[in-house]
Amino acid sequence: MEVLMSSLIGVEDPVKFLMWFFIVLMFVFLMFLFTLKTRKKLSNRHVAVRKTNTVIYSTLIIAVALISGVFALELNGSNEGNGLEDTAGIKSIEEIEAIESLEHIAHTNEHYLFGIDISHYQGEIKWDEVKASDHPIEFVFIRSTMGVDGKDTHYHANWVDAKKHDYIRGAYHYYRPNENSTKQFENFASTVTLVTGDFPPILDIEEPSRFGDKKLREGVLNWLKLAEAKYGVKPVVYTGKHFYDTRLKGYLKGYPLWIAAYSGKSRVSDVEWTFHQFSEEVEIAGIDTAVDGNSFHMTMKELQSMCIGETHHSKKYWKNYKH
């Protein structure tokens, strides 16, 4: 029946439309009764006034009916649009299971370790509460610098506190593709001091260059080579799945990949990755905003072996993983 009604009146939600239609009719009917009552009170000596009132009330009724009808249609259309947005925002069972399982993965699956990445957007973090939370956080990636002169205002506090609370920590630089890559590395190097137990440097690449993909890759590779020369280890590259597929794939051989894709492991099944950013909506006690959730595909021993200062540091631990 609802389908038939929908086809007859051309509205996706006929029940809601008819509801508003009848509300408008009731309002018009009440206005009509009020007009009749007013007209009866007028004496025959006030014919001109009565005619004027009749015109005014009739015009008002028509206007209200038209405005109400348009409002009802607009509301119906708006609800249809919101429905599409809500549907897009609702995670599939696979996504929900991926997020829930990965947030608590250390309790159930030894093949994945859980970590987060943070910046000044998270504000002042209550690290004692984070440490006491139910989330099995093993590592923390912390934004340090951006472009040639940008510095994250919470970097130093986060860097010290992460170490104080026994997290494996890593510093990442946000790459601005239209700025000089050598100066960007100098900004990172002058800000970040890596010691034994820290991750190698990390380069975050998310934006295309106005000079084209070739220049983008040249700048990225220059930054990575400078970082490897200074710190003695291969840097990590962070980027989104689509950005990687369309601009970087085939040009980052030998560099560990930290890939962002928020629809479960199936989306990164065709990529050899070391870290997978699987969600940007993880809520953790002690942090006022949602944070990104990340998984590492090997064991704690292998995670630690990737860090600076390890005598057995080996590229085999940086070997990207294909699920």
Active site residues: 117, 206
Q: Give the residue from 253, 252, 251, 249 showing the smallest Cα distance to 268.
A: 249
Q: Give the residue from 3, 2, 5, 56 showing the smallest Cα distance to 31.
A: 56
Q: Give the residue from 269, 268, 271, 277 showing the smallest Cα distance to 295.
A: 277
Burial class (CB in 10 A: 0-12, 13-18, 19+), 257: buried
Distances (CA, A) of 156 to 118, 227, 319: 12, 20, 30
Cross-strand bridge partners of residue 216: none
Cα–Cα distance, 87 to 17 (Å, whole number):
21
Cα–Cα distance, 264 to 194 (Å, whole number):
32
What does the angle CA 8 – CA 12 – CA 17 come to, to the nearest 5 degrees?
Answer: 80
Q: Give the residue from 109, 166, 172 showing the smallest Cα distance to 143.
A: 172
Distances (CA, A) of 124 to 116, 127, 173, 196: 15, 9, 20, 26
75 SS3 class: helix
- Give 3-state DSSP helix, strand, coil % of the chain, rounded to 5: 50, 15, 30
Cα–Cα distance, 232 to 196 (Å, whole number):
12
Q: Give the residue from 229, 230, 256 showing the smallest Cα distance to 316.
A: 256
